Amino acid sequence: MKTIKVCIKRSEGFKEYMVETEEGMSVMDVLERIYDEQDNTLAFFRHEACHQEACGKCLVRVNGKVCLACGHEAAEDELVLEPWSDKVVRDLVCEQP
């Protein structure tokens, strides 16, 4: 268990969250935890996700690099999460390729 800082680029600007994480959590799990416990206005891809790096739809920019939210383990002490493309719909959700 550790508490990490997560900065998310929302449509209206960056917002910071302190999130308790455990080993084996993905960035998708961290986003879920934020939505569940801190902020139910956050938008991130979730409506038809496989969670198993198979569908390739949960793209997000993590600390500058584009990756799958479900495939990136949240091991860092600080996460900066941004939309993966410049065609933002809302918060971390972009127009689908």
Minimum CB distance to another protein, residue 1 (Å)? 13
DSSP secondary structure string for all residues of 44-84 = -S-TT--SSSSS---EEEETTEEEETTTSB--SSEEEEE-S
Figure out which of the listed residues 7, 25, 67, 80 binds another protein, where binding follows CB under 8 A.
Answer: 25
**Start-to-end Cα distance in the chain:** 36
Restricting to residues 27-56, which ones interact with another protein according to CB under 8 A? 28-29, 35-36, 40-43, 46-56
Give me the residues that bind another protein (CB under 8 A), please.
Answer: 22-26, 28-29, 35-36, 40-43, 46-57, 70-71, 73, 89-91, 93, 95-96
